[in-house]
Amino acid sequence: MNPAISGVNRGRFVARTVRVRAPGKVNVSLNVGPLRPDGYHSVASVYLAVSLYEEVAATSTEGPGITVSIGPSSTLDLDGVDIPLDERNLAYKAAAIMRDVSENPTGVHLEITKRVPVAGGMGGGSADAAATLLACDALWNSGLSREELAHLAAELGADVPFSLLGGTAVGLGVGDELSPALAKAQMDWVLVCADYGLSTPEVFHTLDRLRNTEGLDIPEPLEVDAKILQALRDGNPDALSKVLINDLQRASIKLAPQLRDTIGIGESNGALAGIVSGSGPTVALLAHNPRAAEGLAEDLRHLGHNALAVHGPVPGARIISDTLL
Ligand SMILES: C[C@@](CO)(OP(=O)(O)O)[C@H](O)COP(=O)(O)OP(=O)(O)OC[C@H]1O[C@@H](n2ccc(N)nc2=O)[C@H](O)[C@@H]1O
Ligand SMILES: Nc1ncnc2c1ncn2[C@@H]1O[C@H](COP(=O)(O)OP(=O)(O)O)[C@@H](O)[C@H]1O
């Protein structure tokens, strides 16, 4: 009997831990269509996975059930931050979905190492869900293909399939219909993280309200600007800086007006351009190269901002260790 598969050795339960890391993302472009009857908006987005990772360690337990904790290596200040540890947690939901499709699931404890800002517009919870899908697939020997995992990911949230895939991708539908895109070189960014979060549904609703007031037509079907894909293909940050777009940005700024200043400070300190990431409030500033990004991050930290240099594209969710305890 192979304990790595069964979790049982001569009648004794052997715990096993599968550790997976999954990246956060920046939306290099995000076009938002009208509200659909299901409460979602159709979008056309270019996703970029960046080098700020969540980690989930999934450990099999002898008793049944799913438990969740936040690991001590988390780099975020989580004081006063609302992360539910029960069935509302996206990692819990991912494990529950995997349990339903697995033949011999055990109980599981999920320890999440948080590095991606919570409710920051960078898909941190989605990364936890993607990592958990992959970890439980390995832990329970479920043998699902990447395609099957992507299908389950889409049930968990619009951003979850991208964290599984990683790299650079065009997302259509609600953001879950992904086509990988080419990127010749890494792009360097500085993330300016806020000490507050924004609710994704509230930002979408605010955009609807602003648009209703204006009475403007919303373009459909949505398309990604070919210049964005060209700039990524060429690895040309100058060209990319001219075409960054986020339709949600003005709604985020309506809810958190200080974001406009954050982008302005980034640009006046040397960023090629700045954009709110997804629904915000994280601001992503594009830099020329790694040195420029490190320098900009340091300057912004001196000005009192929580700034971090990252790069992308990076790979999607990956197993980093698999051990019997
Ligand atoms: C805005 C984006 C851009 O990538 O990211 P974040 O800023 O959240 O990271 C995504 O569209 C968010 O994806 P995700 O956070 O997975 O959303 P979900 O949990 O599926 O949906 C939460 C809620 O956001 C709204 N929503 C989400 C996606 C979408 N295409 N249209 C929407 O209107 C809906 O009100 C939905 O009920
Ligand atoms: N594993 C998780 N990590 C963070 N937040 C989670 C998680 N599971 C559920 N949530 C809830 O989802 C909300 C949005 O989470 P997050 O993915 O960090 O933001 P965003 O959608 O802006 O990228 C949080 O405010 C939190 O209440």
Q: List the domain boundaries for the chain.
A: 3-181, 187-312
- pLDDT for residue 13 is more than 80: yes
**Which one of 159, 176, 188, 247 is the catalytic residue?**
159
* 159 is a catalytic site residue: yes
> Concatenated DSSP letters for 20-71?
EEEEEEEEEEEEEEEEPTTS-EEEEEEEEEEEEEEEEEEEEESSSSEEEEE-
Tell me, what's the pLDDT at 46?
A: 98
Assign a CATH topology to domain 187-312.
Answer: Alpha-Beta Plaits (3.30.70)
Is the reported ipTM for this assembly greater than 0.90?
A: yes
From CA 149, how far away is CA 137, in angstroms rounded?
Answer: 9
From CA 103, how far away is CA 206, in angstroms rounded?
Answer: 44
The widest CA-to-CA distance across the chain, in whole angstroms, is 70
Domain 3-181 has CATH 3.40.50.2300: no
What confidence tens digit (pLDDT) does each residue in 269-279 have? 999 999 999 99
Please tell me whether 127 is known to bind a ligand. Answer: yes
- pLDDT for residue 134 is more than 90: yes
Tell me, what's the pLDDT at 3?
A: 42
- pLDDT for residue 205 is more than 60: yes
pLDDT band, very low/low/confident/very high, at 221 (cuts 50, 70, 90): confident
Which amino acids bring their CB within 6 angstroms of ligand 1? 27, 30, 39-41, 43, 45, 121-123, 126, 157-159, 174-175, 200-201, 204, 278-279
> In ligand 2, which atom is closest to the CA atom of 119?
19
Ligand showing the shortest atom-to-Cα distance for residue 35? 1
Percent share of the chain, pLDDT over 70: 97
